Amino acid sequence: MAVLPQKEARQMRAAQVVDLPEHALLPGFINLHTHIAMTLLRGFADDLPLMEWLQNHIWPAEARLVGDAFVHDGTLLGMAEMLRGGITCVNDMYYFPEAIARAAAASGMRTFIGCVITEFPSAYAQNAQEYLEKATEVRRKFYGKERISLVLAPHAPYTVKEETFRKIVVLAEHENFLIHCHIHETENEIRQSVQATGMRPLAALEQLGFLSPRVTAAHMTHLIDEEIALTAQRGISVAHNPRSNMKLGSGIAPIAKLLQAGANVGLGTDGAASNNSLDILADARLAALLAKVNGSPTAVSAAEALRMATINGAKALGIADQVGSIETGKQADIIAVDLGTIEAAPVFDPVSQIVYATNREQITHVWIAGEHLLKERRFARLNESELVGMAEQWRAEIRDSGRNV
C-alpha cells in the first residue's frame, strides 16, 4: 500500500479509481474475540446469567447441532455481517477449524482461527489431548495460507486442567502458536478458582508459566490492582467485550486502569449469541462511554477507542507491521466511512464523529489486502439473499431440534 498526496496519486496508473470525497478512510477494524459460528444462535437464549445461559441452553444446543456444516454456515453468515461493519480481521474461537477456514477463504476475511481446547467431549474431539493433536494437524495443513492463521484456544481456567495448560505452554513455544483464552470473565469463575486452588485464575495461570505476550485474554472483567499490573508486566493483550459483558451481567472491565498501566487493550464483540451483533464500531463507542461512567470524561478518548478497534488488535495478533494503520508498506486493509450524512453533520473532529455519532451502516467500502470486498455496501464475493435463506433454514432446524429433546 502507498499513501500519497492526491495530486501524486492521480498521476499513477490504476486499474480502478474510487473517489470518496465525503468519506473518512480508516484501517479495518479488528475483532479480537468472538465465536463467529454462534451467529446462528443469535437471540436463541437471551437475558440469562452466563453459567445458566451456557449450561442450560448454549452447551446443550451445541451438543445437538454443532458439526462441520453448522460451523461453516454460521461462520460465513457472521463474516458477511462483520465485513459490512468494517471488520477486516477476526480472532475467532470455535470447533471445526477447517470449516472456519473454508468460510474465511470464501469471504476473504483475515482470520485467526482459535482451535478450542477443553476437557469436555464434543462432536469435534473427545478430550484435551485430542483437541491439542487436532490443532497441530490443522495448523500444519493451513500453514502459510493467505489471510489464515491458527491459534491455540484453551476455553477457560474452569474448563481446562492445569496439566493441559502446561502442555499448551510447551506446544505454543515449540510451534510458535498465539493463545486465546477467556480469563476473569465472572466473579463466580474467580470464586471457583479460589476454592479449588487457593488462588485467583490469573495467579494460578502465572504459576503455570502461561502468561506471556502470546496470550490474548478475553473479558478480564474482574481485576484487582495487582492483576492489572501483572497483565501489563507479562505483555498480555486484553480483548474488551463491553456489550457482551453488560448483556450477560458479567461486569465492567477496568479498561482505563489497564491502559494507564501500559497493557495492550483491543476490542471484541464476543459471539452474536451474547451480544447480539458483531458490531465493533458500537463496541468502540460503548468502551469509551463505559470508561467515563465513574466520573472521568477523559478516561478513554475517542482516539483511544479507535486505536483499540484497530492497531491494538493488530499488536495482540502480532501483525502490527502489516495492518492496523494506514501506512506506506502495510497491506491495504481499509474501510471507508461516509461522513456526508445528516447523522454525521457537521464534522469538527472526524475521529470523534466516527466513534460517537456514526454507525456501521455508514461503512460503504471495505478492502482486505487490497481486494475490494464491499462496494457501496454490496458484497463482491458473497450473495446476501443466499445467506439470509441459509440462516432461515438453520433457524427451523435449531427450533425443531429443541422440540425433539
The 10s digit of each residue's pLDDT in 217-275 is: 999 999 999 999 999 999 999 999 999 999 999 999 999 999 999 999 999 999 999 89
| Cell digits of residue 158 | 474452569
With a CB cutoff of 8 Å and minimum separation 6, the contacts of 187 are 222, 251
Establish if 394 belongs to a structural domain. Answer: no
Establish if 357 belongs to a structural domain. Answer: no
Average the pLDDT over 67-82 and give the result.
98
- Residue 264's CATH number: 3.20.20.140
Establish if 15 belongs to a structural domain. Answer: no
What pLDDT shows up at residue 305?
98
Residue 127's pLDDT band, with cuts at 50, 70 and 90, is very high
Establish if 9 belongs to a structural domain. Answer: no
Average the pLDDT over 143-167 and give the result.
96
Establish if 359 belongs to a structural domain. Answer: no
* E-assigned strand segments in 55-127: 87-94, 110-117
Establish if 255 belongs to a structural domain. Answer: yes
What are the tens digits of pLDDT across the range 350-382? 999 999 999 999 999 999 999 999 999 999 999
Average the pLDDT over 69-80 and give the result.
98
Q: Which of 42-46, 148-152, 285-289 is predicted least confidently?
A: 42-46
Residue 51's pLDDT band, with cuts at 50, 70 and 90, is confident
Establish if 226 belongs to a structural domain. Answer: yes
Rounded to whole angstroms, the Cα distance separating 319 from 381 reads 25
In this structure, are residues 298 and 346 in contact, taking their beta carbons and an 8 Å threshold? no
In this structure, are residues 250 and 185 in contact, taking their beta carbons and an 8 Å threshold? yes
Rounded to whole angstroms, the Cα distance separating 135 from 168 reads 11
| Number of domains making up the chain | 1
What pLDDT shows up at residue 405?
42
With a CB cutoff of 8 Å and minimum separation 6, the contacts of 313 are 29, 30, 31, 32, 89, 91, 266, 267, 324
| Cell digits of residue 224 | 484487582
Establish if 388 belongs to a structural domain. Answer: no
In which domain, by residue range, is 128 found?
A: 29-323
**pLDDT exceeds 90 at position 339:** yes
What does 234-284 look like in DSSP terms, one character per residue?
Answer: TT-EEEE-HHHHHHTT-----HHHHHHHT-EEEE----TTSSS---HHHHH
Cα 375 to its chain centre, rounded Å, is 23
What pLDDT shows up at residue 404?
47
* E-assigned strand segments in 256-392: 264-267, 334-338, 363-368, 371-375, 378-379
What pLDDT shows up at residue 403?
52
**Angle between helical axes of 97-107 and 68-84 (0-180°, round to 10):** 40
Q: How far is CA 120 from CA 63, 116, 117, 170, 321, in A?
A: 11, 11, 9, 21, 37
In this prediction the pTM is 0.96
Strand partners, 26: 335
What pLDDT shows up at residue 69?
98
